[in-house]
Structure 1
């Protein structure tokens, strides 16, 4: 069944959209990620313009993050003060990112920049995740091996403007969390992602937050930043396709339930390796699309130039 997307200005299969939403929902249930870094590239593959895919894909991140953060609040695993500091940086970064997005759109380079960003970030993150997962599996098979300390004090702890974050057990400067939030905000605006795949490692290894509060605090910030990003895209360049967003969210709700059941049957290290391989695969596919000659070639010729 074909449906016409008025903002994207293309006709696509409704089943394809439900399937993509469902697939990302399964991944969300399996791996605990919002899925923005995968849903946007998947929309590229079925012909959705990158500008619309970025702006609309953020809706899926908001929907999946809301359900996730509610569960984390019940477990008292959200550091609200830290989340608010990250949120301030995220809002500033999101505004900056939307400005850059609009500038690139005017220059006609937004499609190329978005796709290159995905190749670089997904490729790098996927390789790091795969390496860390293999190390975890190796350590798990050697019970006597010494555990590596996840966090040590660094230059970030010597900065001014320190605050006490009780839920995280930290007394650190607000500058590093502000910078982490700013970077994630820029990525949310330009790439249509929640930024959890960068924020979570940064919160653990840079800020030194305990893992039990990292996921909930990250989701808390992601909700507001991605919602703000979607709103800004809607009013500045009208690139949010509501029909597309609804189809993705419907599929995602169903897929998340399936993924949560499948996730209980696999070990954490196995899940991370599968996710890493999927991320690397998407990065390679986008890179090939940029490098390979398209099947259907066309050219624009000025009228009368050949006469």
Structure 2
């Protein structure tokens, strides 16, 4: 495993991080990640009604806490009440207390604001975060899917309230390069690094949906985000990447993960897995450097299926705006 610093901070994270959004119940995956040298783990308070955090809390019991970089976050609804979602002072503090309890820890390494809250002043959120930092419950703060303009607002508020803002977590993959236009350049300017989320494009870039087949139990088999990507023309192009991966001595998943790590703004690629074998395979993408020929072939094969328009940033649904 290789490790990188996040933005302008001194925090080191593993190039491959493990996220348990959809795989918190997969047995053996956390152990496989630790065996592979993965130190960085992502989750969120709202995932699976708190079960995702509880799974980590159980898996990390007995381990040396300082060896881990735990990232969790707040924004999505955690209950039916009007204060059970968003980034208000009330919800941020209550959500963090719940996360600490479920994760069985005294502090969070990177506490992430999982979307921009259009209904709460940024200053209110960062004042609450400042209090939590001073209490020792948060080491660093991050955002997720914030636009360049919103990141600048966060940077200003963080500086005013002495909050160590170091990271942003955008969707970023061979197919979704939206952050490159504005978010990444602004992040570099203000010292914010990127955690590349969904680097396998919901599994599409692993080649598992070859010939349009949808394996039982995969994200494409249910009401998941992969379905819009199951376009025959796109799947055909993705299938052609197998030759590129073979020539580079990589699996398709390793090629996709290594591709995200070529960007200097990316501190780590966050990937889930449903089996320990997948975790071990993904971890081998760390330290891989792709030459110009590989990058050129990827661009040529994916062509117009690559999304780059910065207006396509993933944002909250209307009811949370």
- TM above 0.5, yes or no, is no
Greater relative contact order, per chain length (Cα 8 Å cut-off, separation 6+)? 1
Tell me the TM-score normalized by structure 1. Answer: 0.26
- From the two aligned structures, give the one with the greater strand fraction: 2
- From the two aligned structures, give the one with the greater helix fraction: 1
Tell me the TM-score normalized by structure 2. Answer: 0.25
Give the greater-gyration-radius structure (CA): 1
